[in-house]
Amino acid sequence: MPHWQIALVIMIGYLIVALFIGILAGRGKSGSLTEYVVAGRKLGLVVTSFLMGGAVFSAFSFLGAPGWAFERGAPALYIIVYTAFAILPWYLIGPKIGKIGRKYDLYTLSGFLKGRFRNKSIPILVGIFSLLAFIQYLATQMKGMAYIFNIMTDGRVPFWLGALIAYGIVVIYVATGGLRAAAWSDVFQGLLMVIISWVVGIAVVMQLHGGTTEMFTAINNAQPGFLEIGHEGSTMSAVGYTTTILVSLIGLLMWPHLFSKSYSSRPVTIKRTVLVYPLFSLFLIPLLLAGYAAIGVVNSGEVLPDEVLPYLITNVLEMPGWLYGLVGAGALAAAMSSADAITHSASLEFTNGVIHNVKQDLREQTTLLIMRSAVVIIGGLAYCITIFGGQGLIALLLGAYGSIVQFAPGVYSALYWRRATAPAIITGLLAGTFTNYYFQLVASSTPLDIHAGILGLIVNIVCVVVISFATKPQAAQHANAYVGIK
């Protein structure tokens, strides 16, 4: 049997197992709204850490991280740094958000901001922005899955079909099983991905170079500065590197699918998840090594950076067919574990943030129906972008990150700053998002090479502080309802 057939069989086998686990996890649980949105607010440590981790082990890390190492060298370290540090604030804010959520029966980021600022425009804006960012993010994952199917089968599964198959499965189990389904398949997918990245990362380095020292010495001799940041020969400035880390770091917990895990996990679970998380970032090391290993072996014009890992495996290395298939399955797992969480959360934010504030008094069953239909529609939109849009994986993700990070001033003010007012949060959010988009899409460069998302954040924070002091303070009981919770 040729390699591509074995690979195809293994990947399909993987998809069937993932589907099975997802459906099984959701079965037998009550069909209530609380179960669907926060799994009854009682997920355990293993499941929570993989839900959080699964979101980091995305198509971005499996394909994008080797791509960055291959194309840009040392700046790829940013991925490890932000993954390790971004979760740490959750130790303090997660339990507090969880308590507020239980007290006021919340399950989204938009609901959280609405409860504090008593204003409908904020949740509607948050609902719309998250929907846009989610669709982009989802398109990234689908693109990743489609690459994998396409490359691993030597082009026999066309791009559009690969994305469609994998995505169909996500939609089916998220629409039926809710958070619990997404959670359990993440445990399975997370384990698979960690094991595969280590096996492949080490195998690639050993086969091509004999060891990491030999590999890095060769790179450093051929391209001095490539393994450093901001020096001559480097691909990124020091300011660019630092602000890219900052934007990803502040943005991570503002992603509604991660933020809302504060509601579904108990305080002790949140804290333990934070403890193990920095180790998750180290799991990414072999993926960077694989990208470095391709330098000098693969010509940079020959292949897109995002495709370098699958390309290495299929065209350069001598690997048995089953290993091919496992890599395919690992990458699918990475993409799907992000896709399911994103889809679930996107449907929640949109329904709770936009629909609930436009039309009130929906019955619980109607709400559930809208959420489930939203899963299908959001998936469909992302699919269209995947097939017709043509940006690189990472530009997409960083673009979306730039907008999501603009929620941070609102969230942190809601938790800790009594003087913050609704008009200030709205203005800040709009001004920050506008600034980010201007520098990302219109301007050709940014001042001092600062990341567009950070420029937006600076504008955002200035607006929030200045306008808060210029407007009438919030009624003390509303501010205290959040800030006063210990």
Note the residues at the interface with another protein (CB under 8 A).
Answer: 41, 74, 77, 80-81, 84-85, 88-89, 91-92, 95, 99, 102, 211-213, 216-217, 220, 224, 227-231, 238-239, 241-242, 245-246, 266-268, 271-272, 274-275, 278-279, 281-282, 285, 486
CB contact at 8 A, 255 and 94: no
Instruction: Classify residue 278 as exposed, middle or buried by CB count within 10 Å of its CB (0-12, 13-18, 19+).
Output: middle
Task: Enumerate the β-bridge partners of residue 295.
Answer: 298
Q: How far apart are CA 198 and CA 193, in angstroms?
A: 9
SS3 (DSSP) at 122: helix
Closer residue to another protein in complex, CB, 102/156: 102
Of the chain, the end-to-end C-alpha distance in Å amounts to: 62
CB closer to another protein, 238 vs 443: 238
Q: What is the DSSP letter of 443?
A: -
- Distance in Å, CB of 241 to another protein, minimum: 7
Between 285 and 316, name the residue whose CB sits nearer to another protein: 285
Residue 2 or 224: which CB sits closer to another protein? Answer: 224
Are 119 and 111 a contacting pair, CB within 8 Å? no
CB of residue 424 to another protein, shortest distance in Å: 24
**Smallest gap from residue 212 Cβ to another protein (A):** 4
Number of alpha helices (DSSP H) and beta strands (DSSP E) in the chain? 25, 0
* Identity of residue 37: V
Smallest gap from residue 267 Cβ to another protein (A) = 5
Among 39, 66, 439, which Cα is nearest to 289's? 66
Count other C-beta atoms under 10 Å from residue 28's C-beta: 6
For residue 201, the minimal CB distance to another protein (Å) is: 13
What secondary structure letter does DSSP report for 189? H
CA distance 260 to 110: 10
Nearer to another protein, 62 or 280 (CB): 280
Give whichever of 59 and 250 is closer to another protein, judged by the CB atom. Answer: 250
Q: Least distance (Å) from another protein to the CB of residue 415?
A: 12
Residue 221 or 360: the one with the smaller Cβ distance to another protein is 221
Could you tell me the smallest distance in angstroms from the CB atom of residue 277 to another protein?
A: 9
CB neighbour class for 122 (10 Å; exposed up to 12, middle 13-18, buried from 19): buried
